[in-house]
Amino acid sequence: MKKITILAAALILSLSSAFAQTWTWDKPHSQLNFGITHLSISEIDGTFGGVTATINSSKDDLSDAVIELTADVNSLNTGNEQRNTHLKSADFFDAAKYGTLTFKSTSFKQVDGKNYKLAGDLNFHGVTKSVVLDVVFNGTVVNPQSKKTVAGFKVIGIIKRSDFSLGGQFPAAMLSDEVKLNANAEFVKD
């Protein structure tokens, strides 16, 4: 009887892994961006170029998705080298000490239609905080060139730089405490 139970458990585990799907961040067709208000009058935007991310799910609608993302802080780019260098310094990200930004989801729940709430743990600058982001899941399509299935997402949210001890010496009148996150992402089904 014990052998039958072990065999059944092994069969169930192998079947569940057979239905698991892994999706990988498509670098040429994806961006992880941020924006912050400067002097209360204009927004400065930036992007992280060195991003890797995966989605693991056993369901076609991705409702049980586990999303993991890593960004290289040294790949930060705002279009101005002097500002990039300052943002990577100990005044802000301290890229020499905290070289990566990570996110791991704790839930991905459909709100209605194509709209989802993505909750997870965001870690950078030595601090981990739970965040909730809004996601539009634009669906899937087969890429006519690669013949691979691709999923498209728009992710937006707001975090507070004070929650991550980022640029504390700069008051909100100079740099807003709120930082807008914005990702347009395509994931390719492996």
Per-residue pLDDT at 175 exceeds 80: yes
Indicate whether 116 pLDDT > 70. Answer: yes
Predicted structure pTM score = 0.87
Is 8's pLDDT higher than 50?
no
**Each residue of 45-93: pLDDT tens digit?**
999 999 999 999 998 878 899 999 999 999 999 999 999 999 999 999 9
Q: What are φ and ψ of residue 82, in 5° steps?
A: -65, -45
Domain boundaries, the chain: 21-189
CATH number of this structure's domain 21-189? 2.40.128.110
Other Cβ atoms closer than 10 A to 130: 9
Residue 27 has pLDDT above 60, yes or no: yes
Q: Return d(Cα 69, Cα 24) in angstroms, integer.
A: 10
Exposed e or buried b per residue across 164-190, where buried means at least 16 C-beta atoms within 10 angstroms of its C-beta: bebbeebeeeebbbebbbbbbbbbbbe
Q: Which of the four pLDDT bands, split at 50, 70 and 90, describes residue 2?
A: low
Please tell me the chain's helix, strand, coil percentages from 3-state DSSP, rounded to the nearest 5.
20, 55, 30
Burial of residue 68 (CB within 10 Å: 0-12, 13-18, 19+) is: middle
